[in-house]
Amino acid sequence: METTDIFTKRFTETLQRLVDHHHVIYPTLPPKGRYFEYLVEKAFRTIRAPATWVKPSTPNAPREDLIVGETRISIKTEAGPKTSPKFIHITKLLTTEKRPWTADSLIQRTIQHLSRYERILMLRAILKLKCQIRRLTVTECQLLLEWDIEPTD
């Protein structure tokens, strides 16, 4: 069931502030799992969503993490040294304990699993680049000018 977008600008700004507050206490640890789910729930409550409108589910249950109004939300996090700003990897989307493990059956189970949600909200912790001090010769700088450099997002 598609509904109006519950991830309003006010919601996302509130959630960003809560994540920023988390980083004041834990500067190098992104909020993951149940901790991020709580921040999402808190963001909805902070923007004064009615208490009956925001319903968390049982932690680690094989269903939505949060129901807002009638919208079922799956909350995911992606963090680690290999998190890419260009690609999204959703792990632990569903259990693969059921056989067969063929591509067709896994695709069908994934489609069936995704039908449980209307929205997926994902926090991606992309590690910041470290600063480097490099000494370059003029010749090396001239070589850099010969590269084909394309802008990225």
Q: If DSSP codes are grouped into helix, strand and coil, which group holds residue 119?
A: strand
At residue 96, the pLDDT reads 60
Higher local confidence (pLDDT), 79 or 8 = 8
The structure tokens listed for 137 are 């010769």
Q: Give me the pLDDT at residue 21, please.
A: 92
Mean pLDDT computed over 80-97: 71
* Greater pLDDT, 57 or 30: 30
Q: Is residue 151 in a domain? A: no
**39: nearest Cα among 77, 93, 88:** 77
Range of the domain at 120: 9-145
Give this prediction's pTM.
0.68
Q: How many domains does the chain have?
A: 1
- Report which of residues 109 and 59 the model is more confident about: 109
Q: pLDDT confidence of 139, banded at 50, 70, 90?
A: low
Whether 90 is covered by a domain: the verdict is yes
Residue 34 has pLDDT above 50, yes or no: yes
**6 band by pLDDT with thresholds 50, 70 and 90:** confident
Tell me whether residue 1 is in a domain.
Answer: no
